[in-house]
Amino acid sequence: MSEFQNKCIVITGVGGNLGHSLLKFFFNKKSKIIGFAKTKRSYLKSYENKKNVKIFYGDLADEDFVKSKLQKKNLFDNKIHHLINCAGSVSSKKISQIDLNHWYKLIDDNLTSTFLATKFSFPLFAKYGNRSIVNISSIAGQRFSKTAGVHYTSTKAGLIGFTKQLAIEKAKYKIRINCIAPGQIDSKMLDKAIKNSKNRKNELINAIPLKRLARTEDIVNVCEFLCSEKSSYLTGTTIDVNGGVI
């Protein structure tokens, strides 16, 4: 039997490539899944009528929306075991092009969403057993971004700080909080950032020692580890998944 069978897992950003891959993975592990997406996607329709899946559509920076959905009565016994904060967006604007609306949008999409999903999940975490939170940051939050702007990089660095501080705060409750910092993932988000340029994509690949972009399953595998008992002594850490970019 899977370690994750009948465990409730909250995944934000299931409308994106990585979030969708996480949804598929844990669905196949027979988990109970609460998913969040900003907009409806055709590939999510097949999950909407599944007994063990509930997907909510809306703005994760809306406090009332997040609180009401997570605390909905009789939603998988109102008991959460794992939270994976995967929601986010990207922008390649330079600082001279960024107005306050652009700045706040990236903060809302990448940081506020994580803050609210985490805050309103905590009261529902199971009292005992293996419980964890995984935040998806980026190599940009540790170094710099080759494809995105300062507002994106700032939010991804913020997620790493958020993870470290919260891990200390919640250690006494034995809830582990860790972070993943992927390199460039072969995804729609990357295609948007590089404006679908094949030459730009090849340049990125050639700069990676392993000579390929990350696949969503590379990140899913690390999420599985961080949610499993095998990582029971890990909290407050950030794991690089970037093909050898050091």
With vertex at residue 185, the alpha carbon angle to CA 108 and CA 120, rounded to the nearest 5 degrees, is 35
> Of the listed 47, 152, 173, 233, which one is catalytic?
152
Where would I find the H helices in 16-149? 17-28, 63-70, 100-107, 113-121
Are 37 and 20 contacting, i.e. CB atoms less than 8 angstroms apart? no
Largest CA distance in the chain: 54
What are the structure tokens assigned to 17, written together? Answer: 């490539």
What are the structure tokens assigned to 235, written together? Answer: 């909290």
What's the DSSP call for residue 185? B
Residue 213: count of CB within 10 angstroms of its CB: 19
152 is catalytic: yes
SS3 149: coil
Query: From start to end of the chain, where are the E strands?
Result: 8-12, 32-37, 53-57, 82-85, 131-136, 175-182, 238-241
The partner residues of 239 in beta bridges, in order of sequence, read 180
**Residues annotated catalytic, as ranges:** 152
